[in-house]
Amino acid sequence: DIQMTQSPASLSASLGETVSIECLASEDISNDLAWYQRKSGKSPQLLMYAASRLEDGVPSRFSGSGSVTRYSLKISGMQPEDEADYFCQQSYKYPPTFGGGTKLELK
């Protein structure tokens, strides 16, 4: 199985701060990567797919980048509503696998 190593495990950011979360795949996943956001008590929401494509309705302060094995999610200007858990997921090979998650809190 492809291992997804996500960092950091937790992060605290101030209002307006730019935040970056990374995912490292154990092999080339050819940009087949998604990012999800899960707010407390809510269902996970798809934010980004194909590494850098924003899902409809997701604010433009979210962006994704990366290639081969290294990918990142950036939030340009932390907002209170961005406080959540974030997960990456590769869809390049079965079984789909997820990163361990990043807990993002507002400082």
Query: Could you tell me how far CA 76 lies from the centroid of its own chain?
Result: 13
**Closest CB to other proteins among 12 and 98?**
98
**Closest CB to other proteins among 77 and 100?**
100
By CB under 8 A, name the one of 40, 80, 94, 107 that touches other proteins.
94
**Closest CB to other proteins among 77 and 105?**
105
Binding residues among 17-56 for other proteins as defined by CB under 8 A: 32, 34, 36, 42-46, 49-50, 55
Binding residues for other proteins, per CB under 8 A? 32, 34, 36, 42-46, 49-50, 55, 87, 89, 91-92, 94-101
